[in-house]
Structure 1
Amino acid sequence: MIRILLFLIFVGLIDWYAYQAFKTLFPSQVWIRAGFWAFSIAIYLFVAYSFMTFDRGAISPNFGRMASLLVLSLIPKLIVLAFLFGEDIIRFFTGIFQSVSGSREGDFLPDRRKFVSQTALALAAIPFLGILHGVLIGKYRYRVVRHTLEFDDLPQEFDGFTITQISDIHSGSFDNKEKLEYGVDLINQQGSDVILFTGDLVNNHAGEMEPWVETFKKLKAPMGKYSILGNHDYGDYMSWPSQEAKAANMQRLYQIQEELGFKLLRNENVQLRKPALSGAGGSEASIDLIGVENWGKGFAQHGDLAKATRNLSEKGFKILMSHDPSHFDEEVKKFSQFIHLTLSGHTHGMQFGIEIPGWIKWSPASLRYPKWAGLYEELGRYLHVNRGFGFLAFPGRVGIWPEITVLELRRKA
């Protein structure tokens, strides 16, 4: 109860400061000031309604709408708060100085400057428009990210081998079939040898994927499609009437993976094989593809890397699919067998941030995950963290766009 009260006080303070900017700029336009309060109160009533009707056993579109409206309302107001609160500190000390020096009579505090309110509202409009774009357009603004990686011990037969990685589909969030089909077509256009999906097919339960099975069945790759489970795939984030119901949901998820044409790797491995080059000796060459169940710091740890790599040759070239990038730092990079490349997702880049190649790369995700998006190298091992294909909770993406990754493997000359 105390937390709720503190939250209400904080939100009230934000709104009060934001209103001061409107009041300063529109002193005689009562309808504008009334519109500000009507907009804010309507959002808070909808948020309250969404929380009161929230059911962990069902999926409601209201939660996503609530998240988008709350973010759309609060973040611009926080910018106004920062400006006006800073100005109030200056006004306070200015008032003290004027009172002591006797240079001003009347009110203790100087009048609020119109310029500060104008500046605050102008800057607040930037995230407002950015968030609006993220909700309406950004969540389906797919981009292809390419990397070329070189290895001394890559089998010659796999020189030029291409991987398309997708991650975090979160099918329960989709609301536009046409945009989704465009994203699937874009994956196929890459023409990679193999497609690897690194977990979180759904938000909460297998039924979320049912409307999209035919769409994702269209994914094609000549050497196959492989997948792993993410933390959301286990159904741990909703209430089930019984453990039997939860287990049945898990079995249905496995079936859907098969219907999609994915080979689901659960703490196991497969070999990707190519005919040996002429004169190379032997009948074929291979690389090891390893898939572990979810293993994350602070999350359920179903992954068993030792089991997944059992019976593999120490000298084999290894690619690991592991949903959570924290697994790389906690276990993979120190593992007894050398794993050349790890593919992860999970973070979504928080679906919010700013990336300007060569200049800046930042997201709130960096506060939780040292390796939150893109390509990393440590101890001679590579990790790639995909920014995610879908979206979760907040139905938008601001500055961190949905990603299709294409990795080309090359043998060093």
Structure 2
Amino acid sequence: MPRWVFPLIILTVVVVLVEFYTFQAFKSVSKSKIIRFSFLLVSLAVYINFFITVFTYDRSNGQTPQFQMAMGLLLTVSIPKLVVIIVLFGEDVYRWIVKLISAISSNETQPLAGRRKFISQLALGLAAIPFASFIYGIIQGKYNYKVLKYQLSFKDLPDAFDGYTITQISDIHSGSFTNKEKIQYGVDLINQQKSNLMLFTGDIVNNKADEMDNWIDVFAQLEAKEGKYAILGNHDYGDYMKWEKPEDKVNNFKAVKDIHKKIGFDLLLDEHRYIEKDGQRIALLGVENWGKGFNQAGDLEKASSGVQKEDFKILMTHDPSHWEYKVKENDFNYHLTLSGHTHGLQMGIEIPGFFKWSPSKYVYKQWAGLYEEFGRYINVNRGFGYHAFPGRVGIWPEITVIELKKA
């Protein structure tokens, strides 16, 4: 038996179970056959659209907006159903316990039809919250840009850099874009920060260099007083698509690197630059992608060659797992690390200052925002663009502004 058969059987059972419970909820709440069968037809249409898209799209084109929309629709109708099944299955467990107790004690149970209708109404009401959130996330949430500002103090920051500002952006994923007006708004918002330095921490495309062709004129407008620097992300290497010839991948990678020059960024490939101000300087280092378990192209030692241990250092590395496993305890002392990559999974719940949760936290220890250990900091940018799911729910696209202060 092929190894994919068993997971497929499990997935089929789960889907049937979810659809059964959700249909039961509609059946308990409404007697209208039109509503019931409309629900079934919509669900069936979403599943058919997804599987047709998956099995027919050309992988040599990378992840297309059509594929992303099929994924988005699937999640939009599936996540709310999980809410329904949790509520109704919980009520079923309660029913079984009551029946078991009644059977043991020989007492008659009261009919629960009224309770079932109320629980179904409750389940559908709760499910409406993620449903509406996903619809908003696909239509508007992916453009709901947030400017997050941090002030970080360091004892060994050169005096000339007290008050120095850095704008960080990450994960543009230009192959996902469809609305030029909204992207222009995001770029204008970046420029409004008027920072000294602009740093881009990788993933300018999904896979192919030509995804950026229609957006170069927009991103070439990005401005910073004292320079713009960039690194590569895991998607910039073209590893996630099928290439007809090996040389096509090589040529694409070269073209991706050339994009950064076209939009005015200095691309650091395991390199460093010194940023000078009033006779003092800080070191800016940029490594190629280094991720735990895959694509460990980045060479931190090479990027640090020629940098002094006592220099104040800012490191750009796309994947935050690099900081966790190689950087934060390094005695060379990388004061501030800037990363991206996680997108915060583009879905979660955040109440600033109180609560932050996303499934991404179960994969990455540092998954969104600012973290500090051993007196060293990392900021994980939630990303400017979007990928796979064509929207954002609760985890909004981010523009980070960091002000350096002399402690």
Q: TM-score, normalised by structure 2?
A: 0.96
Task: Name the counterpart of 2:321.
Answer: 326
Could you say which residue in structure 2 is the equivalent of 1:281? none
**Maintained 8 Å contact 1:92/1:109:** no
Q: Secondary structure at the match of 1:57?
A: helix
Counterpart residue number, 2:67: 63
Matches within 5 A, 1:5-404: 5-27=9-31, 29-59=32-62, 60-99=64-103, 103-104=107-108, 110-111=112-113, 113-275=116-278, 284-404=279-399
Offset at residue 54 of structure 1 (A): 2.8
User: What SS is found at the alignment partner of 1:376?
Assistant: strand
Report the AA paired with residue 64 of structure 1. Q
Residues 249 and 387 from structure 1, CA distance in 2 versus in 1: closer, same or farther, beyond 3 angstroms? Answer: same
8 Å CA contact 1:166–1:404 kept in 2: the answer is: yes
Secondary structure of 2:218 counterpart: helix
Aligned residues: 401
Report the Cα offset of residue 251 of structure 1.
Answer: 1.0
CA distance, structure 1, for counterparts of residue 169 and residue 177 of structure 2: 16
Whole-angstrom distance in 1 between the partners of 2:270 and 2:331? 16
Distance in 2 of aligned mates of 1:273 and 1:164? 17
Q: Could you tell me how far 1:376 is from its partner in structure 2?
A: 0.9
Q: Matches of 1:18 and 1:99 in 2, distance apart?
A: 29
Distance in 2 (alpha carbons) for counterparts of 1:362 and 1:128: 18
CA–CA separation in structure 2 for the residues paired with 1:97 and 1:295: 57
The alpha-carbon deviation at position 92 of structure 1 amounts to: 2.1
Q: Which residue does 1:279 correspond to in 2?
A: none
% same residue: 52
Please state how far the C-alpha of 1:342 moved relative to its aligned partner: 0.4
* CA-CA distance at 1:61 after TM superposition: 2.3
DSSP-derived class of the 1:396 partner: coil
1:231, 1:299 within 8 Å by CA — same for their partners in 2? no
Distance 1:85 1:164 in 2: 48
Structure 1 Cα separation of the partners of residues 173 and 190 of structure 2: 16
Measure, in 1, the Cα distance between the counterparts of 2:194 and 2:152: 18
Structure 2 residues not aligned, in runs of 5+? none
The one-letter code of the counterpart of 2:190 is I
Give the distance between the partners of 1:170 and 1:3, measured in 2 at CA. Answer: 31
Secondary structure of 2:194's partner? coil
CA apart distance, 1:3 = 1.3
How far 1:110 moved relative to its partner? Answer: 4.6
Q: 2-side partners of 1:45 and 1:373: how far apart?
A: 34
Report deviation, 1:170. Answer: 0.5
Contact 1:289 1:320 in 2 (8 A): yes
1:339 partner SS: coil
- Structure 2 residue identity aligned to 1:204: N
In structure 2, C-alpha distance between the alignment counterparts of 1:96 and 1:18, rounded to whole Å: 25
Between the aligned partners of 2:147 and 2:295, the Cα distance in structure 1 is 30
The answer to whether the 8 Å contact 1:199/1:323 transfers is yes
Q: For residue 334 of structure 1, give the secondary structure of its aligned residue in structure 2.
A: coil
Q: With the length of structure 1 as denominator, give the TM-score of the two structures.
A: 0.94
Q: Letter of the 2:203 partner, please give it.
A: D
Contact 1:168 1:201 in 2 (8 A): yes
Contact 1:373 1:384 in 2 (8 A): yes
Structure 1: which 5+ residue stretches go unaligned? 276-283
| Contact 1:95 1:109 survives alignment (8 Å) | no
> Which secondary structure state, in structure 1, belongs to the residue aligned with residue 310 of structure 2?
coil
d(CA) in 1 for partners of 2:104 and 2:277?
Answer: 86
- Paired AA for residue 72 in structure 2: S
Aligned-CA RMSD value? 1.4
What letter matches 1:41 in structure 2?
L
| 1:164, distance to aligned residue in structure 2 (A) | 0.2
